[in-house]
Amino acid sequence: MSTDPMDTLIGADESVKGDSEAADRHMRQARELETTGDREGAIAHLRKAVNADPANAQALFQLAFALDLAGEDDEAMSLYEHCIRLSEAPVNALINLAVLYEDHGQYASAEKCLRQVLDTNPNHPRARLFMLDVQASREMYYDEELDRDMAKRNAMLDTPVTDFELSVRARNCLKKMNIRSLGDLLRVSESELLAYKNFGETSLVEIRQMLASKGLRLGQRIEDQQRQIRREVFDSARRNNAENALNKSVSELNLTVRARKALQMLNIRTLGELASRTEAELMGVKNFGATSLVEIKERLAEQGLSLRRLDF
C-alpha cells in the first residue's frame, strides 16, 4: 500500500483534467488566510488547490513550502519531488528540496537538485551557497553509526583531549588555551593555534592527523555555525521576497565613510554577509557608533533585509 502523501491529496486517478479555476480560487483564499496568520487554514485551502489541479506547479510549490515552514518535512519533500517532475521544474522547488535532502543526510540527492539549477544559471547565489554547504557536509560526514546516534556523537565531542596520543608540547599548549575536549578543539582554527606561543607546525600536523582519523578537522564547528547562520538569513530573505538583494555589493548602500570602514574591517562585501552579522558584532568595531548602526539598519531595510537577531 502506497504511503505517498500525494495519493491522499489527488486520489488514484491523476488522468482527470485539472480544474485550474478552482485551484486558483483556493490559492487566493490561502493567501488571504496567510496574511491573517491562519497557517492551518491556508494549508487546508492549498490542499484543495492541489486536489483540484494536481499538475499545477504553483499550487504544489506553495503547499510544499507551507508544510516545509510548518516542519512537515516528509510531506513537503514528497510535494517538492512531484513539483520538479513537471515539464519545467521551478527553481525554488529544486533548492528547497535540496535543503531538505541535506537536512536528512541525503547529500547526493541534494547535490543533484542544485546541479539542475546551476546548469541553467551558474551564478544563482542561493544555489551556489547551498552547493558549498552540501559539499562541505559530505566532506565532514561523521562515521555513519555516530551520525545516526546523536548521543554517541556528543559523547565523542566531550572526550578530553588528554585521551588522545598527543605530544607533551601539544597537550600543554592546548591546556593553556583552555581547550579541554574534542569539541573545544573543533571551535578553533589553525591560525589561532599557530598564533599561540610555543605552538608550532609539528604540533599542528599532529593534531590534524588525530582529527582526520575521526573524520574531523580544526574549525569545523565554526563552519557549521556559519552555514546555519547563512541558511537562516537566506530563509528569512526568501520569506520577505528579498532573496535577490543578498548578492548585492555593500557599496550599493552608499554608506558614510565611517560605516564603510567598519564593514571593510569585518571583511563584509555583500548584503548577505552584512545581514548575517548582529548589532553587537558591528558595535564591537572601533569607532563604530550608534549613528552608523542606525544608518546601516535603515539601508538594509530599504532592501527588505535586517541584521541578524540573537534568540535567547
pLDDT, averaged in runs of 10, over the chain (312 residues): 45 53 90 88 91 86 87 86 76 86 83 86 83 72 49 75 85 86 83 77 88 81 66 66 74 88 84 82 81 92 82 44
Phi and psi, residue 304, nearest 5°: 80, 20
pLDDT of residue 151: 63
Rg (C-alpha) for the chain, rounded Å, is: 24
**Share of the chain residues as helix, strand and coil, in percent rounded to the nearest 5:** 65, 0, 30
pLDDT of residue 76: 87
C-alpha 54 chain-centroid distance: 30
208: left (phi over 0), alpha (psi -120 to 50) or beta: alpha
- Over the stretch 33-64, which tens digit does the pLDDT of each residue have? 988 888 899 999 999 998 988 888 888 888 98
pLDDT of residue 225: 66
Q: Identify the three-state secondary structure at position 89.
A: coil
pLDDT of residue 3: 44
pLDDT of residue 294: 93
Sign of the CA dihedral running 210, 212, 218, 223: negative
Inter-residue contact 83 to 46 (CB < 8 Å) = no
Q: Which residues are bridge partners to 249 per DSSP?
A: 270
- In the chain the domains, ranked by start, together with CATH numbers, are 1-88 (1.25.40.10), 146-218 (1.10.150.20), 243-302 (1.10.150.20)
pLDDT of residue 278: 80
pLDDT of residue 47: 92
